[in-house]
Amino acid sequence: MARLPHAVVKLTVPETKPHYDRDNEQEFRRLVEQFLLSSGSGTGGLPSRRQVIFTTASLAPNAVSQSSVSFLAPAQHLLYISVNRACRLRFYAIAATQSSDASRAHTTAPQAGIGVLLDSIWLTVHTKYIAPPVLLYNGDSPAAFTIYYTVENLSSTTGTVTVTATVVSAEA
């Protein structure tokens, strides 16, 4: 068997300049900082938990309030809710569902697929951890940051109902 001559490979590395890496590092840092600032979060662009707090007008016992609140995103995961008095709380994707669902008793399940996102009752003042988290979203076209809600005062006294919802954005 004949031997082949060894091929000689000459590798030429371009001369590096001392400031080259430092300039790239500075540019990389600038881009990362710009991304973090534009994402609104210091955690690599991931959304952070935040609280959305809303309060009804003064409600007599068994009175109902229908309204909407901005959740700062068209969709978010609901992690837990705190209330300051016994109440029934319902969230809706669209205002039309909120109107048509107004007279539904708590003992009657909502019609599937019409946009009732959550229907929950608190008999005492406390925090409910929602497991698995509920996806609250706006079903309007185009999607808005608004979530529609109905609160019923289930306490025996007249007063406002304050709801504190802890959420994480699922959509920008």
- Answer yes or no: do 131 and 149 share one domain: yes
Per the listing, tokens 């008793």 go with 105
The rounded distance, in Å, linking the Cα atoms of 79 and 47 is: 13
Q: Say whether pLDDT at 86 is over 90.
A: yes
pLDDT of residue 172: 77
Condensed to tens digits (0 to 9), the pLDDT of residues 92-134 reads: 999 999 999 999 999 999 988 899 999 999 999 999 999 999 9
Reading the block at residue 84, the tokens are 């300051």
Residue 123: inside a domain: yes
- Answer yes or no: do 55 and 109 share one domain: yes
- Helix, strand or coil for residue 10? coil
The rounded distance, in Å, linking the Cα atoms of 52 and 166 is: 6
- Answer yes or no: do 80 and 156 share one domain: yes
The rounded distance, in Å, linking the Cα atoms of 163 and 109 is: 23
- Answer yes or no: do 62 and 142 share one domain: yes
C-beta separation of 130 from 17 below 8 A: no
- Percent of the chain having pLDDT more than 90? 65
The rounded distance, in Å, linking the Cα atoms of 51 and 79 is: 10
Residue 107: inside a domain: yes
At 75, which CATH number? 2.60.120
- Answer yes or no: do 26 and 109 share one domain: no
- Residue 97's closest CA among 146, 160, 59, 60? 146
Average pLDDT along the chain: 84
In sequence order, which residues have a C-beta less than 8 Å from that of residue 96 and are 6 or more positions away? 115
Q: Is 79 exposed, middle or buried (0-12, 13-18, 19+ CB in 10 A)?
A: middle
Per the listing, tokens 């600032």 go with 37
Q: Say whether pLDDT at 89 is over 50.
A: yes
Q: Which domain holds residue 115?
A: 49-171
- Answer yes or no: do 30 and 61 share one domain: no
The rounded distance, in Å, linking the Cα atoms of 159 and 164 is: 16
- Answer yes or no: do 123 and 67 share one domain: yes
* Local confidence band at 58 (pLDDT 50, 70, 90 cut-offs): very high
* Local confidence band at 55 (pLDDT 50, 70, 90 cut-offs): very high
Q: What are phi and psi of 23, to 5 degrees?
A: -65, -45
Number of domains in the chain: 2
Residue 36: inside a domain: yes
